Every structure is written in structure tokens, then in C-alpha cells.
Amino acid sequence: MNDLFNWFISQGGKGAGYRVGSEEDTYDNEGKRMFHVRGSSDMNAKAMQVSRRAASLNSGDMFVLETPYKVYLWRGKGACASERRNARQLIDYLMVGREVEPMREGKEPRAFWEAIGGYEEYATGKRMEDEKPSYPPRLFQCSNASGAFRVEEIFEFCQEDLIEDDVMFLDTYDEVFVWIGEGANEVEKAEAVTVAMDYVRSDPSGRTLDDTMIIQVKQGYEPLNFTGHFQAWDREKWSKGKTYEEIKREMGENGITKVSEIRITQQTVKAMNNNNNDDFTETDGSAFTYEVLAQPYHLLPGGIDKATRELYLSNEEFFLVFDMERTEFESLPRWKQVQLKKEKGLF
């Protein structure tokens, strides 16, 4: 067991930026520390130190919170048997002699929330709560660095596998996240969403774009339903220690939709298909005004496709501009759509 946990602990600091090689320098100023235990088997289970806060929890795994007087063993609803065993072994190895209080998610005593720094939202959901998920999350890297657009799956992934110069997509089955690295180019952005759509359409399980949400998130603005699929997510790395909810409160709803959680809805997909345009447009159904969209192309907000500006109008403003519903416009011949857009300065 010692050799096994020497390996666990030697790996611990890598993902979250903590030194976990010894008991020195790993406690915070209250004499506490917390570990995240994840793995589908005894062979790949890892224990990694994480920030001591409720936002570090997720429903799929085990967490160990050590205080000067007690150790809390938190079991997420979806934690598997190997994670439960290895969390116990971690306590036996590092926290000998401490009183251990095991608990299940949803049954936590007040003392636990006080010890962790107070309750806050954490990653959860039906997929994470499933101990043996039928569709485990998958991560793919999308890049055209070689001159051709390539997609490669990353196995047993961690946060460090998110390449800042590329676009990645994370498939959690109900949602497919298109993660945009700060250095990703426009070709990668456009192609990645097209690939994500085709990937969903071709899934032999039978899911469709009607029941699978495709969501764009940008580096540094990752929501909990994205970060919860990574072990020991390090918010210091890109988000200055802040959770998505904290960033959202600071920026407000209107601000956050401009940088994150931009949703590719079925309506957007239909509009793009009707216009023979499979390129990715940054819209989530929230709108830019007609005045903004009618500006010269070089003055448009970043990411807008000048040939499909009408997609960024709200339904109400679309009707005011074109004097017809969006569905009526989409049923028109292609040449007629282009003519109307040119008349309104939207092409």
C-alpha cells in the first residue's frame, strides 16, 4: 500500500499546483487540507490536493477533508467502489490516528460545511451521480497546426491536456462543450463546432442535436458542469482563483454570455443549414442590435460572420427589420434572402 500511495502523492501536485510529497507545507493557515480521489479502478485511482472549498467537490468522486481534530470522508453519489477504497487508504496512510466521519452527499452535518468554508455550488448532475455511467466523458483535441484539420481523442485526461493554442471538445453525452483556447485560430474554432455537430449526428446511440446541447466556453470562463469532469481543477491557472459563479456575479448575465456558455441551439443549426453555411457563429440566441450589426465589417464585434449577421438579431428585432418571422425568411430562396439582407445592410 505504501508504494501505491507514494505514487498517488507524487502525482498529486501536478494537476492542482500543490506540493503533496510530504506533510510539510500542504496545510492551509487553519491547519486543514482537502484531497480529491478519482479513478475507475484501483490501478488508475489518484489522490490530488485541491482548494479547501465546496466548489472543489463534485458528485462523481470521493473527497477527504482533514482538519486538526477530525477527518471528513465525503462520498459523492456517483463515487465508485475503487474510489471509496482508495479514499480510505489515503486516510490510513496520511492521517493515522484521526477520528474519521464518513458521510454521503446530501447528508452532510453543519460542521462539515463550516470546516470546508461554507456551502457553495459544486458540479453535479445525473451523469455525475451515476456510479457506472453508460457514456463516460470524452475529450478531443482539434488542431490544424500540421496544415490539415485533425481531431484526436485524449484518454485519462486532466486540465493540463487542454491546449491553449487549440480548440478542444468535451463530450459529456447530454452536452458537448467546445472549449476555445486563447491561442486558437479562426479555422480551428469553425471546424471544431462543425465536427462536434457531425459527431453527435453520427453517434450510434441515437442521440441528436435536439437532445444534445453544444456549448462554447472560453479559456478562463469554464462553468462547473465543465470543470467537474476534471480531477483537481485549478482555478488559479486561468481564472485567478475564482469560480465561474463568482465571475458571473462580477460580470453580470449580459457580460458573461459574451465570453462563455455560448449555446449552439437547434434553431441556430437550422438557420446555418438553410443558408448553406456550416461555419460556427458565436450566438446563443441572445442578440446584438440592428445598429451594431449594420456597421461596416471591420467595426463588428469579434467572431461575427458578416454573411450571416441576421442570426444575431433577436426574434423581435428580426421581425421589425425584415417585416416577417424568421421561419418565413428561412423558407425563401437563397437569392431572395441575400437580396433582403443587402437591402438592410446586413450582407
- Model confidence pLDDT, tens digit, residues 256-278: 665 555 555 555 544 444 443 33
319 Cβ contact list (under 8 Å, min separation 6): 325, 326
Residues whose CB is less than 8 angstroms from the CB of residue 194 and which lie 6 or more positions away in sequence, other chains included: 278, 279, 280
The neighbour count for residue 296, using CB atoms within 10 Å, is: 8
R_g of the chain, CA atoms, integer Å: 23
Give every CB contact of residue 3 below 8 A, 6+ residues apart in sequence. none
State the cell numbers at 106: 446530501
pTM: 0.69
pLDDT of 276 = 38
Is residue 96's pLDDT more than 70?
A: yes
Looking at the DSSP bridge assignments, the partners of residue 214 are: 176, 264
Strand duo 213-218 + 262-264: pairing: antiparallel
CB atoms within 10 A of CB 241: 11
Position 229: which residue type? H
> Per the structure block, which three cell numbers stand in for 93?
496512510
Residue 147 pLDDT level (bands cut at 50, 70, 90): confident
The runs of H, that is alpha helices, within 70-185 are 81-94, 110-116
Question: How far lies 309's CA from each of 61, 81, 314, 327, 333, in Å?
Answer: 44, 52, 11, 16, 17
Q: What is the pLDDT of residues 104-115, one digit of tens each?
A: 999 999 999 999
pLDDT, tens digit, 9 for 90 and up, residues 6-46: 444 444 433 333 333 334 448 999 999 999 999 888 888 89
What is the per-residue pLDDT for 258? Answer: 57
State phi, psi for 140 to the nearest 5 degrees. Answer: -130, 140
Query: Is 71 in contact with 98 (CB distance < 8 Å)?
Result: yes
Tell me how far CA of residue 311 lies from CA of 56, 126, 187, 269, 317, in angstroms.
37, 32, 20, 10, 11
